[in-house]
Amino acid sequence: MFAQVKKVLTPHRYQHTIGVWQTAVRLAERYGADVEKAEAAAIFHDYAKYRPEDEMRKLIETVREIPNDLVEYNKELWHAFVGAYVVKHEVGLQDEEVLAAIRYHTTGRPGMTPLEKVVYLADYIEPGRSFPGVDDVRRTAEEDLDRAVYMALERTIRFLEERGEKVYPLSRAAYEDLKIKEESHEDSGPS
């Protein structure tokens, strides 16, 4: 798997992928997600990252399983959905749970599976990432997977809004879904 992705990634992105893989394995072990599936999804999560923009746009506009509204949002989201499609059709990986973890690693979605949360979070907190607040999310990831994903979504949404960018609806829905869990968790705390 590593040999396949190394051919399509820059050296920097390949190092990022190794960090995501290591982090995903650790999180999967900690939170009971399938470790082999977490490995596969982490290794292939950025498989389409450097596809030409026009090729990705064409796939988004023509492939039914890729939401065509993606073209209205930041291009950084495209590679996740396109990646799940090309990993399935070019690499031959058919496991739908792994493909979903690849597909939603940039946006999240409501009702995320533990595997999807692990890959989403691993991409956000891998050791090569350095931005304000990432260490808080890393610390939280050691204690509470849902809360850490919630924090990552919240910070991503805030970052996009501060830059005047549109937030993809799945990201907002994922955030709202986890916000309900977070609020009910707070309500059931010590009295």
**Residue 189 per-residue DSSP state:** S
Those residues whose C-beta lies under 8 Å from the C-beta of residue 46, and which sit 6 or more positions away, are 5, 9, 13, 16, 17, 20, 79, 83
C-alpha distances out from residue 121 to 25, 71, 108, Å: 11, 24, 10
Return the number of other C-beta atoms located less than 10 Å from residue 181's C-beta.
Answer: 13
C-alpha distances out from residue 36 to 1, 3, 99, Å: 12, 17, 13
Q: Is the pLDDT of residue 182 over 80?
A: no
Could you give the CA distance from residue 21 to residue 23 in angstroms, rounded to a whole number?
Answer: 5
Angle at 172 between CA 184 and CA 20, to 5 degrees: 90
The domain in which residue 42 lies consists of: 2-187
Q: What is the CATH number of the domain that holds 76?
A: 1.10.3210.10
Return the number of other C-beta atoms located less than 10 Å from residue 3's C-beta.
Answer: 6
Environment class of 33 (CB within 10 Å of its CB; exposed 0-12, middle 13-18, buried 19+): buried
pTM of the shown model = 0.94
Q: Is the pLDDT of residue 190 over 60?
A: no
Could you give the CA distance from residue 168 to residue 155 in angstroms, rounded to a whole number?
Answer: 14
Print the SS3 string covering 54-123: HHHHHHHHHCCCCCHHHHHCCHHHHHHHHHHHHHHHHHCCCCHHHHHHHHCCCCCCCCCCHHHHHHHHHH
Mean pLDDT rounded to a whole number for the chain: 95
Domains: count for the chain = 1
**Residue 190 per-residue DSSP state:** -
pLDDT digits (tens, 9 = 90+) for 141-179: 999 999 999 999 999 999 999 999 999 999 999 999 999
pLDDT digits (tens, 9 = 90+) for 7-42: 999 999 999 999 999 999 999 999 999 999 999 999
